[in-house]
Amino acid sequence: MGDGHKRWSACWCTSSSSSTKLLFFMFPLLVLYVFVILLGPETSNRSFITKPLSSFSSSSSSSSSSNKSFIPISHAKDSEVQVDLRSSVVDTVAYHKDKAYSVEAVVNSSFSPPLDVEVLPDQNMTKEQMLADSTSRYQEVNAMNESHALRMKPKREKSYSNLERLEAGLQRARAAIKNATRENQIQESEYVPIGPMYWDAKAFHRSYVEMEKIFKVFVYDEGEPPLFHDGPCKSIYSMEGNFLYGLEINTQFRTRDPERAHAYFLPFSVARMVHYVYVRDSHDFGPIKKTVVDYINLVAGRYSYWNRSLGSDHFMVACHDWGPETSFSTPYLHKNSIRALCNANTSEKFNPTKDVSIPEINLLTGTINGFVGGPSPSGRSILAFFAGGVHGPIRPILLEHWEDKDEDIKVYKYLPKGISYYEMLRKSKYCICPSGYEVASPRIVEAIYTGCVPVLISDHYVFPFSDVLNWKSFSVEVPVSEIPNLKRILMSISSRQYIRMQRRVVQIRRHFEFNSPPKRFDVFHMILHSIWLRRLNVRISVDQR
């Protein structure tokens, strides 16, 4: 008993001593474990991954505790993946520079770069199987991460193309012009359009201001003078060259970036083509038309803008009588494009809704100095005046009825020597402006410059800027059939009405004056404004080709 007791006592002491040693050994580990639990995963470099028991296979459940099965992230659905720090299934999911994320952090993150995945291999796998399995797992994790990143990616606002932004700006301008009639007119120190000379002075003023704010024109750089980027500036076709030159040097409306442009200018001169390309007396328009076709094909091939709109936001300017004929070179040019023409003849397919009538100004000296101004109505002793050759179908009728027939109506085929043409304009109350072979006549602008009320005799003519100006308020329209009754028509106008018309002529004169450099509301800006109005009538779709 004693020996047994001693042995038992020795064993107990040995066991107690061992237990004490074991307790001293386990206590620090236990403290460390509790410390880790309290601090949570932020102090750990690892993520603890578990899978619900129901999802384990029989092979995984039978695995030994020393060889736990790895549960790949990509094999579990989002709802099946959860964080459990009590699990002993451990893996490290590293992202760049060994920065660890828990599975929850990986699944709910919004980052899109692929994850670097460290896989714990099955010890029973061959090297080839391990490599294949590792590759497969990497691809699955990467695919899941990218899919989740797309789901979590915040919705972006729709991006708009340059064309959509331009069209939106034009739409705002349309709305502003439409509302202008109901609003107070913009006040300016320089000039404010007002009076019956305008169909709607407020709308015109608002439209002009909107043009100044946003309108941009791109001038194609292709082509060399004299046929392109050049034109006559000292002839009856002067507006062709002067407008082209004015736009070339303009810094307000011209843009060098075609993506910012609302309209595109085709800078060819019909007058120059007639001089350099046309074979005199050949009646063959072929060379001129071929030049225009080649030019349009050139710019359409280098840029996308012609084909995008089929030419509807492009424009040409021509003061030569053959301007309309030249535009027939290609169907889209005369059907879709904006044609700014002096020869605005509706019988020759001029379309007022898309084309622009521009004034014909005969600038013999290249300037209007000395040609503008005249006396008041009381200083005008001649009732009506005209001087010009037999040109077209209307003038022979005028000459037949009034040449040397009446002292009050001075009609000449050739002005007598010693009599100044412009002095006769200044002395006359009314200036007769019949069309020649073509509808346009420089006599209209000459009358306006000198303060003489124009008497318009023409067929199929759309008067310049008639989308803005009410010509009936400051001119007299006489049908061709009423030429024999010309004096009676003019005499029936009361002195009071004549004075009103004459004053209105002086008021609207600024819109026909040529200035170098151009000034606000002058003829250059009025032509541009007419083009601007036609561009407002066009809506180009992003998908249009």
Per-residue pLDDT, 143: 64
Chain segment 459-496, per-residue pLDDT in tens: 999 999 999 999 999 999 999 999 999 999 999 999 99
Kindly report whether the global pTM for this prediction surpasses the value 0.85: no
What is the DSSP code (8-state) at residue 260?
Answer: G
- Asked whether the predicted pLDDT for residue 65 surpasses 60, the reply is no
**Shortest CA distance to 408 belongs to which of 489, 475, 487?**
487
At 200, the amino acid letter reads D
At 264, the amino acid letter reads Y
Q: What is the Cα–Cα distance from 356 to 316, expressed in whole angstroms?
A: 10
Q: Which of 113-122, 186-195, 507-516 has the weakest average pLDDT?
A: 113-122
At 504, the amino acid letter reads R
Per-residue pLDDT, 189: 78
Same domain flag for 291 and 425: no
Q: Please, which pLDDT band fits residue 31 given cuts at 50, 70 and 90?
A: low
Q: What is the Cα–Cα distance from 504 to 491, expressed in whole angstroms?
A: 19
Mean pLDDT of 269-298: 96
Same domain flag for 349 and 474: no
Q: Which of 53-67, 103-117, 297-311 has the weakest average pLDDT?
A: 103-117
**Shortest CA distance to 372 belongs to which of 532, 535, 230, 522?**
522
Same domain flag for 334 and 437: no
Q: Calculate what percentage of the chain has a pLDDT beyond 70.
A: 70
- Asked whether the predicted pLDDT for residue 538 surpasses 70, the reply is yes
- Phi then psi for residue 293, to 5 deg, are -60, -45
- Asked whether the predicted pLDDT for residue 536 surpasses 70, the reply is yes
Question: How far lies 444's CA from each of 43, 147, 149, 359, 471, in Å?
Answer: 92, 73, 71, 8, 11
Question: How far lies 509's CA from each of 198, 219, 310, 476, in Å?
Answer: 13, 29, 36, 16
Q: What is the Cα–Cα distance from 200 to 182, expressed in whole angstroms?
A: 11
Looking at the domain assignment, is residue 463 inside a domain?
A: yes
**Shortest CA distance to 529 belongs to which of 461, 468, 445, 463?**
468
Same domain flag for 219 and 349: yes
The residue with greater pLDDT, 16 or 352, is: 352
Looking at the domain assignment, is residue 412 inside a domain?
A: yes
Mean pLDDT of 371-399: 95
Per-residue pLDDT, 313: 97
DSSP 118-180: -----TTS-HHHHHHHHHHHHHHHHHHHHHHHHHHSPPPPPP--HHHHHHHHHHHHHHHHHHG
CATH of the domain at 416: 3.40.50.2000
Chain segment 176-206, per-residue pLDDT in tens: 999 998 888 888 878 999 999 999 999 999 9
161: which residues sit within 8 A by CB, 6+ positions away?
542
At 396, the amino acid letter reads P
Looking at the domain assignment, is residue 33 inside a domain?
A: no
Mean pLDDT of 307-313: 95
Mean pLDDT of 516-545: 89
Phi-psi region of 206 (alpha: psi -120 to 50; beta: other; left: phi over 0): alpha
Max CA-CA distance within the chain?
170
- Asked whether the predicted pLDDT for residue 98 surpasses 60, the reply is no
Looking at the domain assignment, is residue 130 inside a domain?
A: no
Q: Calculate what percentage of the chain has a pLDDT beyond 90.
A: 65
Report the DSSP beta bridge partners of residue 260: none
Looking at the domain assignment, is residue 307 inside a domain?
A: yes
Same domain flag for 345 and 423: no
Looking at the domain assignment, is residue 333 inside a domain?
A: yes
Q: Are 345 and 322 in contact (CB under 8 A)?
A: no
Tell me the residue range of the domain where 481 lies: 382-512
Mean pLDDT of 375-379: 95
Per-residue pLDDT, 153: 57
Same domain flag for 303 and 438: no
The residue with greater pLDDT, 149 or 51, is: 149
Report the DSSP beta bridge partners of residue 93: 117
Mean per-residue pLDDT over the chain, rounded: 80
Per-residue pLDDT, 395: 96
Same domain flag for 337 and 275: yes
Per-residue pLDDT, 142: 63
478: which residues sit within 8 A by CB, 6+ positions away?
455, 456, 457, 486, 489
Looking at the domain assignment, is residue 287 inside a domain?
A: yes
Same domain flag for 350 and 472: no
DSSP 412-444: ESSPPTT--HHHHHHHEEEEEEE--SSS--THH
Per-residue pLDDT, 133: 57
Per-residue pLDDT, 59: 37
Query: Counting Cβ atoms within 10 Å, is residue 419 exposed (0-12), middle (13-18) or buried (19+)?
Result: exposed
- Asked whether the predicted pLDDT for residue 428 surpasses 70, the reply is yes
Q: What is the Cα–Cα distance from 163 to 260, expressed in whole angstroms?
A: 8
The residue with greater pLDDT, 257 or 545, is: 257
The residue with greater pLDDT, 18 or 437, is: 437
- Asked whether the predicted pLDDT for residue 214 surpasses 80, the reply is yes
Q: What is the Cα–Cα distance from 185 to 545, expressed in whole angstroms?
A: 40
Mean pLDDT of 345-363: 96
Q: Is the peptide bond before 331 cis (omega within 30 degrees of 0)?
A: no
- Asked whether the predicted pLDDT for residue 47 surpasses 50, the reply is no
Give the per-residue SS3 of 294-348.
HHHHHHHHHCCHHHHHCCCCEEEEECCCCHHHHHCCCHHHHHCCEEEECCCEHHH
Same domain flag for 221 and 248: yes
Looking at the domain assignment, is residue 22 inside a domain?
A: no
At 128, the amino acid letter reads E
Same domain flag for 357 and 221: yes
Q: Which of 63-72, 119-128, 270-279 has the weakest average pLDDT?
A: 63-72
Instruction: Tell me how many domains the chain contains.
Output: 2
Same domain flag for 529 and 473: no
| Tokens found for residue 531 | 């083009």
- Asked whether the predicted pLDDT for residue 44 surpasses 50, the reply is no
- Phi then psi for residue 411, to 5 deg, are -120, 125
**Shortest CA distance to 477 belongs to which of 522, 524, 435, 425?**
435
Mean pLDDT of 331-345: 97
Same domain flag for 426 and 355: no
